[in-house]
């Protein structure tokens, strides 16, 4: 039976919080009230209110924490270690895309979001699901967070903040556009440096983060070429970081990323882009920070290189959508030593033709194609993609689609010792298959933009990590699982406020076959009801209030021993842009306003309430 929801409690708290937000640049808001325009600076995500976190500097994952279509399950900070899930999937069902290339960590999905790119260099993310993910995603069955490279502008920003628990952060960004042109091309570059540290909101929850990233850009009237290099070093601790045994664990991650992307926009409906990347990720995990190397010296280095091409070619009523990526990885590990191989090659191809018919009721577009996935270690798979869409003259959109997608498990799942240790693998795990059917609509009404979707997804042989009473380990096991879902996202913008509200309902049926489990860390850790609300209030006289909020009713889990199954999570920020001090911004922020102890990952303690004050200067 569905648990009854205390709507009185929700109403009281969300009246105080005023529900979730879409944020315009503060420069735009101030320009409406003053005769001058403030220096340009960009928002990182259009679906959330606060663009900078309280406890650390901003990372790509920061803008996803209150995103209506994305559920972040954090350990310590979201910027420390965060599992990114979409539509009730697990942390390894979600991919990340930069331009043409899809990034990947072959060791574990826990590190998919380790992307050493300053959000100031990226466009606001697009969340790909269903058929869009089947076509453009890579080894990610359920969803993909897709970023484009932002055009560089002549601007700079320096910011800093400090707060309780000895927290402090500093960031510096500078974009340069050289005057003149080379063959009608604009040459530009940007660079960013950031650092943060804290003692943590719980004992032994400290962190020390550093990032350096830079880019060279060549931009023409219809093309943009980006060459990027980034480096990130993260050390953080947390009790029960990955295991439910009351031990103070630590992790040290070092990530390098080098990537190239060239995009050509031929017409509004036609483009192509070519990309390549190399990524190296080093991971040193300590089960007990006071006894280094206990059980195993968990040290891993992964190297991944890839080339990719995607695009859309349009000619009259016909179009062709295509995507291709070839990738190779390599693993070096002190503990992932079971199994015969430490390298793997991947290939993804997608071709989906489109045909548009012009009818009295509107434009009908039919899409039908397929994707091909292969590795040199697993069986290949061909997956269909079918969609029918009606776009009415009023702008209202209706669609129905069926798509399949597949992926193979990471090395931690298949190469961990299957009979001993804290993390017990399963060498028999193979290719996973997801089948998704959904219908949806999108429309505008009375100043609101509204998108809805209802879906059923069937995941077969999904790799999950499970728990048994009396067994000091988590074990990788396959599960067949059906997910029913409904989601709605609504946005409204005025001269005085911006509002984005999202609601998702999920229900699951799981079959672990002959395997007996007592609890699931991931596949059955989901919110049955999740409501997000972000609001930006422009108060006048240079003041702005930004509120991000989430209410959730979580599926019960034996491992969640503190905090219950319901939670209200909020981040509030008050910003002041002095009208007489051009480019200056002061801020005061509080995270986890209600000091919730809800465990986003079962058995992992919550990060507690935290405050910070900061200042930024933009030129």
Confidence of residue 179 (pLDDT cuts 50, 70, 90): confident
Q: Give the lowest-confidence range in 37-46, 125-134, 390-399, 404-413.
A: 37-46
* pLDDT surpasses 60 at 228: yes
Cα-trace Rg, the chain: 24
Confidence of residue 562 (pLDDT cuts 50, 70, 90): confident
Beta-strand relationship, 143-147 and 186-198: unpaired
Structural domains present in the chain: 7-618 (2.40.170.20)
Mean pLDDT on 344-365: 97
Contact predicate 46/534, CB 8 Å: no
Confidence of residue 34 (pLDDT cuts 50, 70, 90): very low
Each residue's pLDDT tens digit, 151-177: 999 999 999 999 999 999 999 999 999
Structure-block tokens of residue 372: 């091909």
Q: pTM of the prediction?
A: 0.92
**Distance in angstroms (rounded) separating the CA atoms of residues 159 and 172:** 7
Contact predicate 134/404, CB 8 Å: yes
Each residue's pLDDT tens digit, 471-482: 878 899 999 999
Mean pLDDT on 34-60: 75
| pLDDT the model gives residue 182 | 61
| pLDDT the model gives residue 478 | 96
Confidence of residue 42 (pLDDT cuts 50, 70, 90): low
* pLDDT surpasses 50 at 610: yes
Each residue's pLDDT tens digit, 106-137: 999 999 999 999 999 999 999 999 999 999 99
| pLDDT the model gives residue 45 | 87
The residues, ordered by sequence, that sit 6+ positions from 164 with a Cβ below 8 Å of its Cβ are: 610, 611, 612
Contact predicate 412/423, CB 8 Å: yes
Q: Answer with the residue of higher pLDDT: 19 or 238.
A: 238
Which residue(s) pair with 460 in the sheet?
A: 433
Confidence of residue 183 (pLDDT cuts 50, 70, 90): low
* pLDDT surpasses 90 at 29: no
Assign 259 to helix, strand or coil. Answer: strand
DSSP class of residue 202 equals S
Which residue(s) pair with 253 in the sheet?
A: 234, 283
Query: Please, what is the end-to-end C-alpha distance for the chain in angstroms?
Result: 56
Assign 513 to helix, strand or coil. Answer: coil
Looking at the chain, the whole-number percentage of residues with pLDDT higher than 70 is: 93
Helix (H) or strand (E) holding 454: strand 448-467
Confidence of residue 469 (pLDDT cuts 50, 70, 90): confident
**Distance in angstroms (rounded) separating the CA atoms of residues 558 and 519:** 6
**Distance in angstroms (rounded) separating the CA atoms of residues 512 and 137:** 27
| pLDDT the model gives residue 293 | 83
* pLDDT surpasses 70 at 449: yes
The number of residues making up the chain comes to 619
Confidence of residue 44 (pLDDT cuts 50, 70, 90): confident
Mean pLDDT on 248-252: 96
| Average pLDDT of the chain to the nearest whole number | 91
CA-based nearest residue to 238, from 616, 601, 617: 601
């Amino acid at each position: 039976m569905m648990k009854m929801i205390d709507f009185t409690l929700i109403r009281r708290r969300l009246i105080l919080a005023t529900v979730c937000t879409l944020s315009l640049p503060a420069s735009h808001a101030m320009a409406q009230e003053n005769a001058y325009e403030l220096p340009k600076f960009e928002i990182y995500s259009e679906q959330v209110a606060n663009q900078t976190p309280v406890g650390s500097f901003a990372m790509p994952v920061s803008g996803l924490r209150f995103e209506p279509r994305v559920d972040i399950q954090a350990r310590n900070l979201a910027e420390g270690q965060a599992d990114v899930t979409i539509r009730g999937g697990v942390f390894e069902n979600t991919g990340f895309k930069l331009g043409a290339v899809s990034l990947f960590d072959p060791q574990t999905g826990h590190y998919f979001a380790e992307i050493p790119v300053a959000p100031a260099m990226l466009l606001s993310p697009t969340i790909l699901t269903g058929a869009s993910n089947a076509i453009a995603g890579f080894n990610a069955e359920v969803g993909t967070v897709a970023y484009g490279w932002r055009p560089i502008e002549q601007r700079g920003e320096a910011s800093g903040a400090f707060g309780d628990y000895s927290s402090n952060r500093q960031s510096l960004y500078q974009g340069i556009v050289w005057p003149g042109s080379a063959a009608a091309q604009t040459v530009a570059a940007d660079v960013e440096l950031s650092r943060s540290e804290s003692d943590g909101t719980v004992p032994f929850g400290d962190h020390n983060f550093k990032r350096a990233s830079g880019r060279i850009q060549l931009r023409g009237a219809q093309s943009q070429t980006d060459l990027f290099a980034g480096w990130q070093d993260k050390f953080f601790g947390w009790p029960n970081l990955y295991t439910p045994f009351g031990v103070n664990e630590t992790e040290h991650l070092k990530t390098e990323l080098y990537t190239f992307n060239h995009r050509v926009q031929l017409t509004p409906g036609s483009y192509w882009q070519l990309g390549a990347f190399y990524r190296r990720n080093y991971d040193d995990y300590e089960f007990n920070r006071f006894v280094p190397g206990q059980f195993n010296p968990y040290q891993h280095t992964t190297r991944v290189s890839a080339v990719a091409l995607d695009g859309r070619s349009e000619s009259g009523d016909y179009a062709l959508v295509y995507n291709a990526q070839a990738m190779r990885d390599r693993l070096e590990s002190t503990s992932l030593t079971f199994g015969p191989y430490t390298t793997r090659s991947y290939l993804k191809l997608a071709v989906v033709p489109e045909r548009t018919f012009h009818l009295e009721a509107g434009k009908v577009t039919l899409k039908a194609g397929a994707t091909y996935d292969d590795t040199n270690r697993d069986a290949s798979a061909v997956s269909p993609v079918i969609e029918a869409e009606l776009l009415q003259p009023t702008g209202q959109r209706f669609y129905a689609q069926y798509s399949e997608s597949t992926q193979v498990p990471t090395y931690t799942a298949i190469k961990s010792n299957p009979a001993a240790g804290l993390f017990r693998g399963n060498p028999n795990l193979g290719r996973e298959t997801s089948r998704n059917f959904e219908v949806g609509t999108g429309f505008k009404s009375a100043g609101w933009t509204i998108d809805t979707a209802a879906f059923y997804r069937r995941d077969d042989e999904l790799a999950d990590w499970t728990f048994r009473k009396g067994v000091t380990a988590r074990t990788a096991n396959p599960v067949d699982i059906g997910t029913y879902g409904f989601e709605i996202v609504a946005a409204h913008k005025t001269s005085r406020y911006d509002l984005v509200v999202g609601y998702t309902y999920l229900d699951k049926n799981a079959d672990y076959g002959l395997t007996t489990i007592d609890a699931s860390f991931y596949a059955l850790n989901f919110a049955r009801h999740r409501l997000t609300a972000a609001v930006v209030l422009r108060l006048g006289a240079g003041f702005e209030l930004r509120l991000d909020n989430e209410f959730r009713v979580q599926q019960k889990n034996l491992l969640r021993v503190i905090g219950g199954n319901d939670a209200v999570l909020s981040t509030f920020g008050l910003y002041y842009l002095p009208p007489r001090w051009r480019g200056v911004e002061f801020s005061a922020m509080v995270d986890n306003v209600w000091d919730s102890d809800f465990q986003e990952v079962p058995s992992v303690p919550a990060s507690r309430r935290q405050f910070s004050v900061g200042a930024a200067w933009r030129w």
